[in-house]
Amino acid sequence: MNPSRAQNKAAQNIGMVALQKAHRAVIGGCELIEQIGRGAMGSVFKARQLSMDRIVAIKLLSPRFAEDKEFVARFKREARAAARLSHPNVIQAVDVGQSQGYHYFVMEYVDGRTISSLIEQHGALSEAFCINAAVQIARAIQAAERLGMVHLDIKPSNLMITLEGTAKLADFGVAMQTVDWASDVQPQDVFGTPEYISPEHALGTPNLDSRSDIYSLGATLYKMLTGRRPFNGASVREMVDARFLNDPASPQTLNPFLSDGICAVVAKMMARDRGARYQNAAELIEDLEYVLARPSTGAIAAAASAPQQPTHAPEPVPDSPVAQPVYVVEARKSALGAVVGSFLLVAVGIATFLLVRNPEILANILRTF
């Protein structure tokens, strides 16, 4: 980077910091309160929309991208895509525009945590929690299907969990209409996040559809269940190439407490050939709900034989007035019940064995009644 570009970038960063610290700074009719997120394209602030007197989130495109038509177009595309998808599991768009030299996007404020922050804090999350979140995001994919849209950047940092346990899909900056891929996207134009994109997406294949989003959700679910990405590499190229050379290790090799059912679902979601995956979100939702309702006996036995199950549901969001979602609490109760029940069965079996081998013990017990 030459000195003039470095100085320009530094000045732009200073401008964003100054904006963050400014008291009562107003952009697009929203009074900035505090910065709550920061990404490659800009920053997200908690703000108050003055006209409606409500709390919102406002994303500001970094000034260094303001003159880049591609970034501005992507920024506006995110807002328009989110506005079209009015769904409980999608972060809703409120407004988009330009003010005081900033391109801004106002959206629904979500009081909660990203999946990536939960994984960073806890590692692998409980199976019931993961499945429930995946079902909700699959419903968001289903809503996008109806509009002929693909998200193309599903990953842990783009999944939010509210205090009440609702999962919401964010960041439609890469989203495209399925018909656009035939004419607008060239094979060398690959967007998204390398760790989670589908094989066909990595190749720049035209006519991508929701099966690519299902793959990315599968890779995200894999990390939620195990705390690790399905593929690794010393470089982005190695990480991408790995999915063409090998299937990911079964999640059970990293987390033996998982059910056979959820491992089978993840494997189908991440099939290299998109024809072998779930062909739409409805098929995926059906299988996820089936697994959630019927835990594997093998997983229960593994939990019963272990002194302590290492995976757990995330703790409540700090200062949350709402307890953990019911499905997380029930998952813990089920696991505890399985352990206690297995312990009692073993105890009864041992007692029966001793009585049969020692009739005198049985006779002494009977004489006491």
Q: What are the catalytic residues?
A: 153
Q: How far apart are CA 224 and CA 333, in angstroms?
A: 20
The identity of residue 247, as a single letter, is D
**CA distances, 331 to each of 119, 127, 255, 294, 324 (Å):** 18, 8, 16, 12, 11
Contact 169, 154 (CB under 8 A): yes
- DSSP code, position 189: -
Contact 125, 149 (CB under 8 A): no
Residue with tokens 């779930």: 278
Q: How far apart are CA 231 and CA 219, in angstroms?
A: 9
- The torsion of the CA quartet 97, 13, 117, 173, rounded to 10 degrees, works out to 30
Q: How far apart are CA 163 and CA 330, in angstroms?
A: 17
Q: How far apart are CA 223 and CA 102, in angstroms?
A: 35
Task: Concatenate the DSSP letters of all residues of 40-101 into one string.
Answer: SSEEEEEEEETTTTEEEEEEEE-GGGTT-HHHHHHHHHHHHHHHH---TTBPPEEEEEEETT
Nearest to 112 by CA among 139, 91, 137: 91
